[in-house]
Amino acid sequence: MTTSRRKFLGLLGGTAIGAVVFQACGVPEKELIIQAPFEMPEDLVTGIDNWYATSINTTPATDGVVVRVMEGRAKKVEGNIDHPINQGKHFPRTEATLQSLYNPDRISSPLVRIGPRGSGKWEQISWTDAIARVSEQISNVEDKSSILIANNRISGHAQLILNNFSNALGCKNLIYEPIESTNLRSAIKHVFNQEQIPDFDIKNTKYLLSFGADFLESWISPTKYSRDFGHFRQGTDHRGKMVHISSRYSMTSANADEWIYVNPGTEGLLAMSIASVIIRQKLGPQPNVESLTENGKFDLADYSPDKVCQIISPYLTPDKIVNIANEFMEHSPSLAIGGDTAGSHTNGADSLSAIYSLNYLADNVGKKGGVIFQPKPALPDLINREISSSFSEWEKVANDMQKGQISIFLTSNVDPVYGLPASLKFRETLSSTRRVPLVVSFSEHMDDTASMADLILPQGDPLEEWGSNIPDPGPGYQTIGFQQPVVRPFFESKGRHYGNKSFSDSLISISKTMDLDINVESDSIKDLILEDSKKLFKLKRGSVQAQTEKAFWIGLLQRGGWWDINNTFKNKINKPPKFKKLTTAKFNNTPEYDFHLIPFVSNGISDGSGANLPWLQALPDPISTATWSTWVEINLKDATKLDITEGDIIKITNQNGVSIEAIAYPNPASAPNTICVPVGQGHTSMGRYAKNRGANVLSILDASKDDNTGALAWSATKVKISKTGNWKKLPQLENELGGEIPQDPERKVIKIDGDGEGKHHH
């Protein structure tokens, strides 16, 4: 790259450190002033702001950000313009990270329960005491396989430490996802033989066929996909076309050129019908066709458009399916993706496999504008070993707990008490100390599961901690994101024996207290990351290069990560697997329960993990503009037939008799006989902004599972609805909640009475 004198001087790290050279497709000028608080001074100069690069896992892919810090306080979060995933853009949840850092309901020190479990009575203890208690209890368990650790999906060095700890101890380790990705990952493994989700190159495709995946709002990597979608629409001289196929009218549906409604659970059937047209008209590459059909043995005649179109949708014609198939093949490169509701039925994994197989017919696998596989990470120890934990596994956990077979339950950044269906009776089981003798939470906030704990060892906020990550999905080349503390710990004033500690550092401390060898010589995750940075330095390639290890380390922190755009997937691409015969999605079709229930994740509080942040509660839903509440989208004609108007309180009951209430939102774009309810409200704990607000739609889901993977079929529930006779205005946009928003009693609000005419206001 061309380096001006100004850039060269900006890149100098000082005579003692040497120069750091950033390699990329032209380093943005503003990026060069981002700093790293590697040796943060005790007292910062008043009035001078600093920008620090870090990573925040507000989306599964983990975005790179820069944080504006003034006088030791984080003031603003922006996207890191040079990070491969989001390239300067950021998600709404990223902006609200500041409210997580300064949340008045954060847990400030380790706590021990002093009342009945779930009573909310706690006593503060020191970290030395907390680590000793947990270590002693773990040591006293004879059968270590009865110990269970539940965590969210993590990567990088945190995953390495957790895996090593679990393996050394011999305990179980499960991932918990309220909207699990089991079926998606199963389909990716089956169709492409890949462990990691590929890079779907929306940016460079010309025709996008999206089945169910609300990628502009919440699916996997919405920041990257939204940015890529902008280029797809306006970044070239040819505007790309998108067809979105789903059972709910979403933000992605609204942005599509065509939205095609399909009956719940028929997305895979439509994909197979499109494939039958492509193969019958001989539009696809013959080697791939032969592999998919096993040299013609797999007959697609049963999926011809005239046979399946009315099963798929009353609004679909055979000609429309043929037209989609032809457009998909004519506009090369084209791309087919699927997720969310397309994979949330009892046939979800097979449906997604059918959808992703279309990419072999389009001959786009491994090509620009298509499906690009991820390379192995530059640091082999950080290879992603995590697979999804299915709902079936969590059913077994609940059953084992009821039998008293789980001795210790440890949780980090997950809330299964909130997210699992009520039919599992997880909350009731966890409330018994006889069934589960010890519950330990490492939560930063008092979520529903933490409120049932015996011990809480609170981890810090992402803006206070060290970490690393392998983005999933990545950008198609080697990438490692780095997370550094951009501010001093908020509770450090409580002294070194109190405050917060990262989950990884807690595991290291527990292992050392127990004399358990977890193959980590470092005393902290920071030290481990620092040691591994030396391995990256020795590669002498990638986005950061320097003369010394120290200069390289500072360069990593300044950049917010390391990536090598030249190191991509190099292995041979496998032949496509043969088609599977699709099964029909199963529902409990009791006549009285005649509405399909489709939960969805909105762009604000997400799966409920952001419900304690007012900025996210106040973020309007893109379709209804609703805020701070739980609403139910219902077809306008269905609502008229049932005499339902906006604001009516509707009771939604599943076939087990479990019910919730939500505010009616009739919508002409909603499908008939289908109701859609946002996920995320209805917490019994989680702080003042989330507690007892709205309803928890996850609690009324049936325990239906995918036939092959055991994943929760979270769109397979049938319900009945009725009016309660009550009415409440649906909060929309801003300033419609009045006095309902909780106030911080310690926050003083100064009111200024004007003169009515504004004469003296300047």
Q: What was the pLDDT predicted at 383?
A: 76
| Cα 144 to Cα 405: distance, rounded to the nearest angstrom | 11
426 φ, ψ (degrees, to nearest 5): -70, -40
Query: Higher-confidence residue: 386 or 12?
Result: 386
At residue 272, the pLDDT reads 97
Picking from 372, 406, 434, the residue at the C-terminal end of a domain is 372
Domain contains 354: yes
Region 527-540: mean pLDDT is: 96
CB 338 within 8 A of CB 198: no
Report how many helices (DSSP H) and strands (DSSP E) the chain contains, helices first: 21, 27
pLDDT score at 302: 92
> What is the distance between the alpha carbons of residues 466 and 562, in angstroms, rounded to a whole number?
15
Q: Which CATH number characterizes residue 25's domain?
A: 2.20.25.90
Asked whether residue 752 is assigned to any structural domain, the reply reads no
Residues 315 and 256 placed together within one structural domain of the fold: yes
Q: What is the pLDDT of residues 242-297, one digit of tens each?
A: 999 999 999 999 999 999 999 999 999 999 999 999 999 999 999 999 999 999 89
Same domain assignment for residues 429 and 400? yes
Confidence check: pLDDT of 42 > 70? no
DSSP 462: G
Give the confidence band of 10 by pLDDT, cuts at 50, 70, 90: very low
Mean pLDDT, to the nearest integer, of 310-323?
Answer: 95
- Cis ω before 614 (30° cut-off from 0): no
Residue-level pLDDT at 477 = 96
Range of the domain at 39: 5-102+475-485+540-568
| Alpha helices per DSSP H over 245-317 | 251-255, 267-280, 286-292, 305-312
pLDDT, tens digit (0-9, with 9 covering 90-100), for 428-465:
999 999 999 999 999 999 999 999 999 999 999 999 99
pLDDT band, residue 737 (cuts 50/70/90)? low
User: Residue 521 carries which side chain, given as an amino acid letter?
Assistant: E
In this predicted structure, the answer to whether residue 384 has a pLDDT above a threshold of 80 is no
Same domain, 247 and 340: yes
The pLDDT of residue 22: 53
Residue 572 has pLDDT above 90, yes or no: no
Q: Over 80: is that where the pLDDT of 159 sits?
A: yes
- Whether 750 maps to a domain, the answer reads no
Give the model's confidence band at 756: pLDDT under 50 very low, under 70 low, under 90 confident, else very high: very low
Q: Where are the alpha helices (H) located in 449-502, listed in sequence order?
A: none
For 474-500, how does the pLDDT look when each residue is reduced to its tens digit (9 = 90+)? 999 999 999 999 999 999 888 888 999
The pLDDT assigned to 744 comes to 60
At 17, is the pLDDT very low, low, confident or very high (cuts 50, 70, 90)? very low
547 in a domain, yes or no?
yes
CA nearest to 340, candidates 485, 488, 213, 490: 213
Structural tokens at position 368:
């620009």
Residue 117 in domain? yes
Read off the pLDDT of each residue in 506-510 and give the average, rounded to a whole number: 97
702-711: per-residue pLDDT in tens?
Answer: 999 999 999 9
Strand, helix or coil for residue 233: helix
Do 194 and 244 reside in the same domain of the chain? yes
- Which class for 8: exposed (0-12), middle (13-18), buried (19 or more C-beta within 10 A)? exposed
Number of other residues whose CB lies within 10 A of the CB of residue 216: 22
| Average pLDDT taken over every residue of the chain | 90
pLDDT tens per residue across span 515-528? 999 999 899 999 99
DSSP H or E stretch at residue 480: strand 477-483
* Residue 601, domain CATH: 2.40.40.20
213 in the same domain as 119:
no
Q: Is the pLDDT of residue 18 over 90?
A: no
Same domain, 128 and 90: no
Structure tokens belonging to residue 433: 């100390």
Considering the domain architecture, whether residues 689 and 553 belong to the same structural domain is answered as: no
Containing 70, the helix (H) or strand (E) segment is strand 63-70
Question: pLDDT class for 589, splitting at 50, 70, 90?
Answer: confident
Residue 21 has pLDDT above 60, yes or no: no
Residue 384 lies in a domain: no
pLDDT beyond 50 at 6: no
My answer on whether 279 and 348 are in the same domain is yes
Does residue 61 surpass a pLDDT of 90? no
- Is the predicted pLDDT of residue 653 greater than 60, yes or no? yes
Does the pLDDT of residue 308 top 80, yes or no?
Answer: yes
Residue range 68-83, pLDDT digits in tens: 999 889 999 999 999 9
Residues 13, 157 share a domain: no
pLDDT above 90 coverage of the chain, percent? 81
Q: Is residue 295 part of a domain?
A: yes
Q: What percentage of the chain reaches a pLDDT higher than 70?
A: 90
**pLDDT number for residue 49:** 86
- Are 79 and 110 in the same domain? no
pLDDT for res 616: 94
pLDDT score of 387: 72
Q: Is residue 531 part of a domain?
A: no
What is the mean pLDDT of the segment spanning 32-54? 67
Q: Using 50, 70 and 90 to split pLDDT, how confident is the model at 739? A: low
For the cut 90, the answer to whether the pLDDT of residue 681 exceeds it is yes
CA proximity to 74, closest of 93, 96, 107: 96
Give 762's pLDDT tier (boundaries 50, 70, 90).
Answer: very low
How many domains, in total, are found in the chain?
A: 4
- Answer yes or no: do 149 and 57 share one domain: no
Mean pLDDT of 413-442: 95
State the Cα–Cα distance between residues 324 and 210, nearest whole angstrom: 12
pTM, two decimals, is 0.90
Give the model's confidence band at 388: pLDDT under 50 very low, under 70 low, under 90 confident, else very high. Answer: confident
Residue 546 token pair: 């320097």
Asked if residue 147 and residue 20 are part of one domain, the reply reads no
Mean pLDDT throughout 679-708?
95
Whether pLDDT at 13 is above 60: no
